[in-house]
A = this chain, B = another copy of it.
Amino acid sequence: MININIEKQIGGRYGGFRLKVDTAFRLNTITQISGPSGIGKTTLLKIIAGLTTPDNGTLSVDEEVWFDKEKQFSKRVQEREVGFVFQDYALFSNMTVEQHLKFGTNDASYMSSLLELGEMNQFRKRYPKQLSGGQQQRLAILRALSTKPRFLLLDEPFTALDSELKLRITTRLKSLFEEQKTTVILVSHLPNEFGKGDCHVFALSGS
């Protein structure tokens, strides 16, 4: 279980509020987080990844503590073994598609299976600037997978894909997740991105 019990004050002078999350996500499954715009979904993912520090509380994976305010402990981002698909992709403008994946893995056959998965084979040599919105989004997904992360955090990862492409990709992703025993946490506004009944839903709401 990923046990989350954190608090964070968000925003300063204007329209600030307090994000409070007390929940647990099952390992090796897909959990979908939903909630209105601006409620703190992205912030929650960043807290799990270690990119943002909560003001208070604890975060642990099974017995392993990742964050504990009282003990002043925070596991380093690099050691959390997470993959992250950023809402705005955050691609490396200096790297081609291929180089993005090489940055995460040395395994050439895994790399080409990823390119296959994302249907990005023909764009290997392209830089992010030279890709369409949907192509950039797929690259962001593939890059996150390249390190074979134990935990995969997806922040609205399919918004730029047409429904057929999305179906093909989510299907392939599902079998990859099973194979790699990935724990997936997905933020999305659409229900059942990976098919019905296959995922747990967590609705984030204001306090």
Contacts and interface: CB of A to CB of B under 8 A. Distances in A.
A13 B159 CA distance: 28
Given A14-B126, A37-B132, A123-B15, A159 B160 contact: yes
A164 interface: yes
Nearest to A41: B132
Contact of A162 (B37, B122, B131, B138): B37
A153 to B, nearest CB: 14
Contacts of A107: none
Interface range, A side: 35 or more
A35 B88 contact: no
Interface string A130-147: 111111001000000000
A42 B133 contact: yes
Interface of A: 11, 13-15, 34-38, 42, 87-88, 122-126, 130-135, 138, 155-156, 159-166, 189-190
